[in-house]
């Protein structure tokens, strides 16, 4: 039986364990990336581990999220990260260089290598044939300190691509289609691998768009073969030397197959408020648009922005639309400036903003009240734009640019030819290495580099070893698909406090329940009840650390999203799964729940929880691997590391 590409790469990196779905393995990590909004925690944790020089081939610390410096906090965080980077041999990428995933693709990603990143969209590297996984900050800190990462071997979804995309349909529409088919929890516990004849019609940046949004499927990662297009991309980035061809065996077997005929796809949009709420643009109709935002790690490549420039060339952004563009990297912006496309965009009436995450994470450009905002981004969770009652639709750059001109949702060839707009293929470009945004650690006397810590950087909370009797009051009863944006909201107001958990904790669950933080504090020891796919979305471990600070002992849900579940365990908070989903309704806010013999029970298949007032019992499943069990017993990953 032949092997999938993902399993080949995992096998090449296997340190211990058996490469079979459901088994726990440890793999070697070649590269890591961090960004600033998760990075401060990562580096505080790295310091707490007394680590020395990183054990990876390359580790990069990017600054791209918290670039609005409205006070000293973000700038202090940047200085802290830069100082730790120098101390541990990590490359520091300055603010203004671009978005971490775009930059990593351009400058460091290598086919066949493993990459672990403290950002959920790290799988963007799968566009280059890497196994690139998003993880909580502590996992990334450990990967830097030890060069390894442990995970449960995922199952494989094979997506077989045939045919070729028609004009005005692009990579974004491919992943929106996959999301429509598989849903935001369809990828949990799985790797999505693309294969088939259709792959060769997609460029590396197209593939990166698709792999990027595999995060929205909940997948561990997504991966494409490395072929002639990969070589062309690496050569265009002056890194031809990094190319190796890679593919699955002809007779590779996948656990599931999804067939996608690229030629049958039409322009799609994810409607409010979920990336899998996908419909055809033609079906949604010409809704009036107030804002169009083009950029993010999903759709900010050179080709994407050149397509936008073609569409806007000689035209005007509709008077009632605000068009904002954030290029993916300084290299891209510089190229747009030198070839005249930047002037085209500005002349049409586009607002050009910094090469950073920006509006994607609510760092500025929040739309007006009740607005319709079309975005080429990857998440449209309610309130993420910074405007709670805005309706955000996720679309391709082509659809975004056409709509910016017409003022209503517009996509596809019929609409574009009615407007007399044609799209020509974008000629390939070559890019020079841009090292001016990068500070290499070479030349620093690592041991003697002082760590610079501003006054807003506070110690992170740490748990204590599991006690035999664990009790807590239910302080929240939440629905399905709770996102980490719901748990720990992030926007320009709160992002500057990513290094200050005591402050941030006051806003925990703020968007769905303003009384949560006070109630949890009051209870002293709390429990959260969740529905399906609890904790979907980002990798931010703040969504575990803030609840830890507020005294949350365990979370019982119908199912968990992968990264958030790991972050809970890393923090020593027990994630428990309802065996009988009807119990979800029975447990109400205010119930006092108790786990007796907890240290013994967590290692078993099922665990009994008792309602201390009614005496009613509930059966839940801890589903912990051996390592996870040890972490919970120790009160979290750092405690476990300190014990060994």
Nearest-angstrom CA–CA distance, 574 and 566: 10
150 binds ligand SF4 (CB under 6 A): no
Residue 82 interacts with, from ligand MIC, ligand SF4, none (CB under 5-8 Å by kind): none
Q: Rank residues 37 and 291 by Cβ distance to ligand MIC and give the closer one.
A: 37
Name which position in 205, 303, 344, 378 contacts ligand SF4 (CB under 6 A): 378
Query: Which sign does the torsion angle of CA 286, 292, 296, 300 carry?
Result: positive
The CB-of-242 to ligand SF4 minimum distance in angstroms stands at 23
The CB-of-215 to ligand SF4 minimum distance in angstroms stands at 8
CA 597 to chain centre: 37
119 binds ligand SF4 (CB under 6 A): yes
Whole-Å CA distances, 95 to 162, 254, 299: 40, 41, 19
Q: CB-side exposure of 145: number of CA atoms within 13 Å?
A: 19
361 binds ligand SF4 (CB under 6 A): yes
357 binds ligand SF4 (CB under 6 A): yes
394 binds ligand SF4 (CB under 6 A): no
In the block, which residue shows the tokens 């996608």? 260
Nearest-angstrom CA–CA distance, 142 and 135: 11
* Six-digit token string for 340: 């005249």
* Binding residues for ligand SF4 restricted to 201-260, rule: CB under 6 A: none
The CB-of-29 to ligand MIC minimum distance in angstroms stands at 17
Contact status, residue 92 vs residue 81, Cβ threshold 8 Å: yes
In the block, which residue shows the tokens 């994470």? 361
The CB-of-214 to ligand MIC minimum distance in angstroms stands at 12
Residue 341 interacts with, from ligand MIC, ligand SF4, none (CB under 5-8 Å by kind): none
Residue 486 interacts with, from ligand MIC, ligand SF4, none (CB under 5-8 Å by kind): none
Residue 344 interacts with, from ligand MIC, ligand SF4, none (CB under 5-8 Å by kind): none
Q: With 0-12 CB in 10 A as exposed, 13-18 as middle and 19+ as buried, what is 585? A: exposed
Q: Which of 434, 439, 539, 449 is nearest to 90 (CA)?
A: 439
The CB-of-336 to ligand SF4 minimum distance in angstroms stands at 18
Contact status, residue 102 vs residue 93, Cβ threshold 8 Å: no
Nearest-angstrom CA–CA distance, 322 and 439: 35
Residue 328 interacts with, from ligand SF4, ligand MIC, none (CB under 5-8 Å by kind): none
Q: Rank residues 216 and 583 by Cβ distance to ligand MIC and give the closer one.
A: 216
Binding site for ligand MIC (CB under 6 A): 37-38, 65, 119-121, 361, 490, 537-540
Size of the site for ligand SF4 (CB under 6 A): 11
The CB-of-60 to ligand SF4 minimum distance in angstroms stands at 14
325 binds ligand SF4 (CB under 6 A): no
> Would you tell me how many other CB atoms lie within 10 Å of the CB of residue 441?
19
The CB-of-359 to ligand MIC minimum distance in angstroms stands at 11
Name which position in 297, 394, 487, 631 contacts ligand SF4 (CB under 6 A): 297
The CB-of-252 to ligand SF4 minimum distance in angstroms stands at 30
**Neighbour-count burial for 513-550, b at 16+ CB within 10 Å, e otherwise:** beebbebbeebebbbbbbbbbbbbbbbbbbbbbbbbbb
Q: With 0-12 CB in 10 A as exposed, 13-18 as middle and 19+ as buried, what is 414? A: exposed
360 binds ligand SF4 (CB under 6 A): yes
Residue 539 interacts with, from ligand SF4, ligand MIC, none (CB under 5-8 Å by kind): ligand MIC
**Neighbour-count burial for 57-93, b at 16+ CB within 10 Å, e otherwise:** ebbbbbbbbbbbeeeebbbbbbbbbbbbbbbbbbbbb
Residues 6 or more apart in contact with residue 165 via CB below 8 angstroms = 171, 173, 174, 201, 202, 262, 263, 265
344 binds ligand SF4 (CB under 6 A): no
Residues 6 or more apart in contact with residue 316 via CB below 8 angstroms = 348, 349, 405
Q: Which of 477, 497, 462, 487 is nearest to 537 (CA)?
A: 487
Name which position in 78, 88, 104, 121 contacts ligand SF4 (CB under 6 A): 121
Stretch that binds ligand SF4, among 130-138, 216-224, 356-364, 415-423 (CB under 6 A): 356-364
Q: Rank residues 203 and 274 by Cβ distance to ligand MIC and give the closer one.
A: 274
Q: Rank residues 383 and 411 by Cβ distance to ligand MIC and give the closer one.
A: 383
Contact status, residue 90 vs residue 60, Cβ threshold 8 Å: yes
Residue 99 interacts with, from ligand SF4, ligand MIC, none (CB under 5-8 Å by kind): ligand SF4
The CB-of-341 to ligand SF4 minimum distance in angstroms stands at 21
Nearest-angstrom CA–CA distance, 113 and 94: 24
Q: Rank residues 83 and 538 by Cβ distance to ligand MIC and give the closer one.
A: 538
Q: Which of 519, 520, 513, 555 is nearest to 534 (CA)?
A: 555
The CB-of-265 to ligand SF4 minimum distance in angstroms stands at 23
Residue 375 interacts with, from ligand SF4, ligand MIC, none (CB under 5-8 Å by kind): none
Q: Rank residues 359 and 635 by Cβ distance to ligand MIC and give the closer one.
A: 359
296 binds ligand SF4 (CB under 6 A): yes
99 binds ligand SF4 (CB under 6 A): yes
The CB-of-115 to ligand SF4 minimum distance in angstroms stands at 14
Q: Rank residues 165 and 361 by Cβ distance to ligand SF4 and give the closer one.
A: 361
Write out the residues near ligand SF4 by the rule CB under 6 A.
65, 99, 119, 121, 296-297, 357, 360-361, 377-378
């Amino acid at each position: 039986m032949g092997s999938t590409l993902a399993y080949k790469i995992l096998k090449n990196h296997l340190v211990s364990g058996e490469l079979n779905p459901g088994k726990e393995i440890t793999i070697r990590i070649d590269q890591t990336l961090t960004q600033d909004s998760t990075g401060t925690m990562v580096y505080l944790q790295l310091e707490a581990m007394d680590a020395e020089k990183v054990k990876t081939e390359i580790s990069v610390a990017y600054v791209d999220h918290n670039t609005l410096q409205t006070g000293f906090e973000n700038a202090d965080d940047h200085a802290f990260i830069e100082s730790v980077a120098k101390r541990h041999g990590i490359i520091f990428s300055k603010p203004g260089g671009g978005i971490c995933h775009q930059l990593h693709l351009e400058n460091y990603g290598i086919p066949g290598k493993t990459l672990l990143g403290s950002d959920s969209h790290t799988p963007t590297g799968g566009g280059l044939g890497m196994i690139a996984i998003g993880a909580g900050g502590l996992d990334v800190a450990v990967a830097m300190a030890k060069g390894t990462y442990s995970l449960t071997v995922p199952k494989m979804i094979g997506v077989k691509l045939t045919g070729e995309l028609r004009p005005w349909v692009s990579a974004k529409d491919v992943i929106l289609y996959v999301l429509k088919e598989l849903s935001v929890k369809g990828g949990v516990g799985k790797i999505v691998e693309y294969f088939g004849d259709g792959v060769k019609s997609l460029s590396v940046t197209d593939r990166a768009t698709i792999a990027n949004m595999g995060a929205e499927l909940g997948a561990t990662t997504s991966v494409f073969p490395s072929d002639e297009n990969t070589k062309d991309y690496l050569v265009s980035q002056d890194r031809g030397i990094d190319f190796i061809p890679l593919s699955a065996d002809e007779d590779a077997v996948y656990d599931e197959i999804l067939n996608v005929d690229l030629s049958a796809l039409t322009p799609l949009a994810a409607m409010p408020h979920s990336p899998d709420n996908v419909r055809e643009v033609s079906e949604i109709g010409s809704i009036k648009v107030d804002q169009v935002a083009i950029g993010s790690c999903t759709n900010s490549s050179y080709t994407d922005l050149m397509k936008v420039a073609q569409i806007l060339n000689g035209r005007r952004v509709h008077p009632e639309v605000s068009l904002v563009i954030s290029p993916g990297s300084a290299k891209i912006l510089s190229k747009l400036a030198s070839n005249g496309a930047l002037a085209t965009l500005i002349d049409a009436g586009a607002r050009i903003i910094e090469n950073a995450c920006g509006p994607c994470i609510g760092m500025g450009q929040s739309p007006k009240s009740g607005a319709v905002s079309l975005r080429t981004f990857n998440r449209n969770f309610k309130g993420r734009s910074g405007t709670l009652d805005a309706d955000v639709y996720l679309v391709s750059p082509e659809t975004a640019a056409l709509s910016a001109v017409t003022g209503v949702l517009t996509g596809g060839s019929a609409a574009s030819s009615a407007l007399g707009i044609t799209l020509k293929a974008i000629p390939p470009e070559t890019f020079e290495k841009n090292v001016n945004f990068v500070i290499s650690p070479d030349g620093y006397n690592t041991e003697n580099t002082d760590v610079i810590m501003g006054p807003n950087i506070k110690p992170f909370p740490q748990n204590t070893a599991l006690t035999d009797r664990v009790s807590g009051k239910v302080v929240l009863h939440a629905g399905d698909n709770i996102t980490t944006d719901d748990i720990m909201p992030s926007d320009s107001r709160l992002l500057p406090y990513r290094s200050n958990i005591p402050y941030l904790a006051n806003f925990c669950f703020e968007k769905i329940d303003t009384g949560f933080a006070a109630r949890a504090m009051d209870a002293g020891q709390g429990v959260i009840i969740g529905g399906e796919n609890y904790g979907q979305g980002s990798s931010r471990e703040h969504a575990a650390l803030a609840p830890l600070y507020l005294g949350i002992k365990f979370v019982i849900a119908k199912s968990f999203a992968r990264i958030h579940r790991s972050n809970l365990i890393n923090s020593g908070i027990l994630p428990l799964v309802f065996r009988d989903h009807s119990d979800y309704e029975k447990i109400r806010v205010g119930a006092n729940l108790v786990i007796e013999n907890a240290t013994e029970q967590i290692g078993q298949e099922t665990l009994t929880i008792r309602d201390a007032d009614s005496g009613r019992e509930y059966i839940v499943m801890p589903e912990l691997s051996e390592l996870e069990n040890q972490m919970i017993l120790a009160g979290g990953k750092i405690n476990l590391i300190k014990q060994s």
